[in-house]
Each structure stands twice: as C-alpha cells, then as structure tokens.
Copies of this chain bind each other. A is one copy, B any other.
Amino acid sequence: MSDNEKAVSMAVVRRLPRYYRFLSELLSENVVRISSRELAQRMGVTASQIRQDLNCFGGFGQQGYGYNVAVLLEEISRILYVKDSAPTILIGVGNMGRAVLTHLPFELRGFSIIGAFDKSQSIVGSRVGSHTVAHVDTLHDFCLRNKPLVAVLCIPKEAAVTLSAQLIEDGVRAFWNFSHYDIALNHPGVVVQNVHLGDSLMTLSYLLHHPENSGSAERE
C-alpha cells in the first residue's frame, strides 16, 4: 500500500494535513471538483506545488477535469491513516494534558486514547473526558497488558527523560511530545512530533518586532 509511494520529503508531509483541512471544507460546501489552480488560489500556494505534492502519492486527478474532491480527500485520508485507531496513552493530566485530552478529537485523526496517567494523588482517580486517570506507577503493567503504540507526553522535561525511555522499552513507537525534552536525540528510530508552544510564541515575538520577514511567515 505504501509501497507504491515514492520517497516523500518532510516538507510535503507537513503540508498534507492542510490539504486535508481544505478538502474537508470543500466537501462540506458540496464542491464536487476542483482544479489545482483553484485550490492553489484558496490556499495561497502555487498550483505547481499542489500537483507535485499529490503526485508523490499517485495520480489522483484527471487531465482537463481536475480533481474530484471526495476522491482526493479519501486518498489523503488513507495516506494519513486518519481512520486508523492507534492505541494511545496520555501522560500528565495537568492544564495542558487536560486540554489536549478534551479538546483534540483523536479518533478523527488516527488515534484512540486507551489510558491517561498522572503522578499526583489529587488527579489520580478523577475522570477527564471519558477517562479515569490512573497512577503513573501502574503504567508499566498497563503497557504489558494493553500494548499502546503511541504516547502523548504532557509532563515536565525531567519526567519525560525517564518515562520516554521506559515507554520505548515497553513498545511505544511514537510520541506526541509537549515537553521540552528532545526524545529523538537519544532515541533514534522512534517517531516524534514535538509541540513546542513556547517556541511558537517566541517566533511570534520575533515577527512582531521584525515585520519585514512576516510576509513569508504568514502562510505556514
């Protein structure tokens, strides 16, 4: 399935979710077909880029016609595995963990939350969304029994250092990392997506005070 897909650069991969969003919107507006030119205009990119990006995965369009919105969305859904349910745990149910757990529709993006953990006795046992928070001491046993593949880390850096190593031992293969710990540096081969909100905020600060560059920054 992924065998007939060429080598794809990260630049392309990072644009896929944006295509997914725009195509979802088009579908909900009952748009049936769209040309790369028109989509490019809506998204603020070039038509060339869209055609190049999509052709990394296959020829989803038709000459003289363009792309069928539903078909293209379906293809990108498949490429992104958004209909999958990768067993996922969340660790650290503080402000950020709670927000992520209740705010993000994991099920619509290829993940299924099967457990939430914290070390604070005041949080353990409480219900967040549809989950009862368990103590992080029970994590190892939980992993042996339930084999989570993905972990969302909403914990401080120090905790992330030891926990990520333990989780990798126990079979976790991908991290959605809100901590400041650079998991990938010490664990090559593990899949990591970092969410560095502080970095994003500092970038905003730079752009606010150096507006010359902002033009290039907006479409990102």
Contacts and interface: CB of A to CB of B under 8 A. Distances in A.
Chain A facing B: main interface SS: helix
Interface in A11-32: 13-14, 16-18, 20-21
Contact of A204 (B150, B204, B218): B150
The count of identical subunits is: 2
Contacts of A191: 204, 207-208, 211, 214, 217-218
A193 to B, nearest CB: 4
Interface size range of chain A in the complex: 35 or more
A182 B21 CA distance: 11
B18 A205 contact: no
B201 A109 contact: yes
A209 interface: yes
B94 A206 contact: no
Interface string A186-198: 0011111111111
A38 to B, nearest CB: 14
Contacts of A111: 201, 205
B94 A95 contact: no
Interface string A63-88: 00000000000000001111010100
Contact of A220 (B10, B174, B209): B10
A199 interface: yes
A142 interface: no
B205 A86 contact: yes
A53 to B, nearest CB: 13
A95, A202, A208 — which one has the most chain B CB atoms within 10 A of its CB? A202
Interface of A: 2, 5, 7-10, 13-14, 16-18, 20-21, 43-44, 79-82, 84, 86, 94-96, 98-100, 102-106, 109-111, 149-150, 173-174, 176, 180, 182, 184-185, 188-220
